[in-house]
Amino acid sequence: MYGWTGNMLRVNLSSGSVTREPTEPELAKLYIGGRGLGSRIFSDEVDPMVDPLSPENKLILATGPFTGTYAPSAGRFMAITKGPLTGTIACSNSGGTFGPELKYAGYDVVIIEGKAQKPVYLWINDDRVEIRDAGHIWGKNTQDTTDTIRAETDEEAKVSCIGPAGEKLVLFACIMNEMHRTAGRSGVGAVMGSKNLKAVAVVGSGMVKAADPAGFKAAVLKARKKIQAHPVGGQGLKAYGTDILVNILNEIGALPTRNYRDAYFPTADKVGGESLSARNLVRPKGCFSCIISCGRVTKVSAQRFEGYGEGPEYETAWAFGPDCGIDNLDAVTKANYLCNELGMDTITMGATIACAMDLFENGILTAKDTGGIALNFGAVETMVEMVRKTGIREGFGDQLALGSYRLAESFGHPEYSMTVKKQEMPAYDPRGVQGIGLNYATNNRGGDHVRGYTIAVEVLGNPSKMDPHVTEGKAALDILFQNLTAALDSSGACLFSTFGLGADELAEMLSALTGVPFPVDEFMEAGERVWNLERLWNLKAGFTARDDTLPERLLKDPIITGPSKGSVNRLGDMLPEYYKLRGWDKNGVPEDGKLKELSLNGS
């Protein structure tokens, strides 16, 4: 096989067995790799009703064909499991160099099952695979864990690990690779912790071969030129990182503020990308084979928040900033560092603190509940301290560790949780951007923006501009973006490569790399197949059309101030059309004809 290694690794932590299996060419053709292939394997092997934190749940690490090649931004891998935060099929995407190294070691996919009797880590060195004792690093943060494992194995090893949050089963714990890259959402790190698996370390000596080297090179060079010529992919992201979006979203009145109480934050510029670049930026940084360099290596000199690391990204700056009523960039950056060290999703962490602040200010949560801590919007030091407490489940942090939905529900007010399918929505207010609201509501892993980034069209005008306040055409737009993203995630390329590239360029590179013809329509159909496969799994897990909704606040309470003042999200105008265009019935269930068309009728 070309592009794919042709091999998968299966590790049973309960028995200690390690086996190798072939990657099935037909499934690789239908699902491409990464998110698609990993989700198909997971769907075939895991009961949708499984307890996410039980040994019967599995964790699959999957790469795509592009991963480890010199295609633009081709460093992605996926962590696929049943998410403990949501109960949905979870697939968290990370960059860096771990994914490419896994390919060089000879594996498209690693299937991790069972539970070790004591803490362990997995060491992969080409054909040599060992399950090693991790008792001495259990309790260490992600950076110390990485350093220790490299010292024990190989200084060139690429390490994916969990921190204390994953060990203590914080429901939104993430997996950190190379200390600063994150498979972040839905609690994949908690699943790893539930298996007593501290880390996976890998070194490989192989390479990824192309079926048509000359054709692949030509397609890659053409693609790179298109990204470099794009104002966002080639310039904006490198200059200011993703945090440049703070001011852009605030200026159109769609920056969620104080737990979505409003959508405009007067001092948002203090935590925006321009301020980050001026105050804290050390240098831009990219992942493997990246020509965009959206990452931020940063430093905080202020004594009370002193630190050095990477981030924050836009979602993080928003979550710890405007969503908590905070405009202190040093505090926001420190909270980001803590999440990286402890191993937590910054979006859910910040949004859960914002929810707690909202509950506190409305008298539902009191100082008696929080251990004497006043959780008011704008409380800078308190916000940072709550991050630390959550990561080690200390005091009130033990309740925050459950995420905002379970927190708010425990106090009798789940409506204060700004979630879809119990996952916190990111930094785009659906009242000010209608299409992203439909994407949140229908998303297979809950509140999420990177599975159908309609912001590209509705706000950034890429590749064309649509009015963010209208509902017409948004159902078709969401489906297009959801299918494209599913195919992109399966290929191993980064979402940001679409700031310059479309399905045409991706399909051309994929065909030359693998030697398998991927016409554009088949590439997009693969994405649609993946989306429907995930939907079917969630339906079997007990989700229904009733879960395809938004918090009542966004459907009924208008934005109070700013350019989008008076707006609510009109989900009801878009959802029926979305179901129809998807080929689903009125209850959101894929029709038999659609399943047959996508070769899913046996699923």
For residue 47 the two structure tokens come to: 């009961």
Cis? peptide before 517, omega within 30° of 0: no
The per-residue pLDDT for range 31-42, each reduced to its tens digit, is 999 999 999 999
Residue 11's pLDDT is 98
Hey, what long-range contacts does 28-31 have (CB within 8 A, 24 or more apart)? 28/1, 28/4, 28/65, 28/108, 28/516, 29/516, 30/526, 30/529, 30/599, 31/490, 31/526, 31/529, 31/530
Which pLDDT score is estimated for 286? 94
Which of the following CATH numbers is that of domain 7-203: 3.60.9.10, 3.40.50.300, 3.40.190.10, 3.30.420.40? 3.60.9.10
Task: Write the burial class of residue 413 (CB in 10 Å: 0-12 exposed, 13-18 middle, 19+ buried).
Answer: middle
Q: Number of C-alpha atoms within 13 angstroms, CB side, residue 594?
A: 20
SS3 state of residue 273: helix
Give how far the C-alpha of residue 125 lies from the chain's centroid of Cα atoms, to the nearest Å: 27
- Residue 308: phi and psi, rounded to 5, are -145, 135
Cα separation, 226 vs 231, in Å, equals: 10
- In the block, tokens 């994150």 appear at 182
What does the alpha-carbon distance between residue 37 and residue 181 come to, in Å, rounded to a whole number? 22
Alpha helical stretches, state H, 443-570: 455-458, 474-491, 503-514, 520-540, 552-556
**Looking at the predicted structure, is the pLDDT value of residue 82 above 80?**
yes
Is residue 602 scored above 80 in pLDDT?
no
Structure confidence by residue, pLDDT tens digits, 120-167: 999 999 999 999 999 999 999 999 999 999 999 999 999 999 999 999
Residue indicated by tokens 């990657």: 23
Does the domain spanning 256-424 belong to CATH 3.60.15.10?
no
Q: Name the band, by pLDDT with cuts 50, 70 and 90, for residue 432.
A: very high
Indicate whether 408 pLDDT > 90: yes
Q: If you average pLDDT over residues 65-85, what whole number do you get? A: 97
Query: Which residues 6+ apart lie within 8 Å of 248 measured at CB?
Result: 459, 460
CA distances from 26 to 23, 60, 509 (A): 9, 19, 19
- Of the candidates 179, 190, 20, 201, the one whose C-alpha atom is nearest the C-alpha of residue 121 is 201
For residue 601, what pLDDT band results from cuts at 50, 70 and 90?
confident
> Whose CA is closest to 149, among 161, 139, 163?
161
Determine if the peptide bond prior to 590 is cis (ω within 30°). no
The C-alpha angle with vertex 171 and arms to 117 and 91, in degrees rounded to 5, equals: 90
Which CATH architecture group holds 434-597?
Orthogonal Bundle (1.10)
Cα separation, 415 vs 551, in Å, equals 7
Q: Hey, which bits of 247-353 come out as E strands?
A: 281-285, 295-300, 307-310
pLDDT in tens, 213-245: 999 999 999 999 999 999 999 989 999 999 999
Report whether pLDDT(603) > 80: no
Domain coordinates of the chain in residue numbers?
A: 7-203, 256-424, 434-597
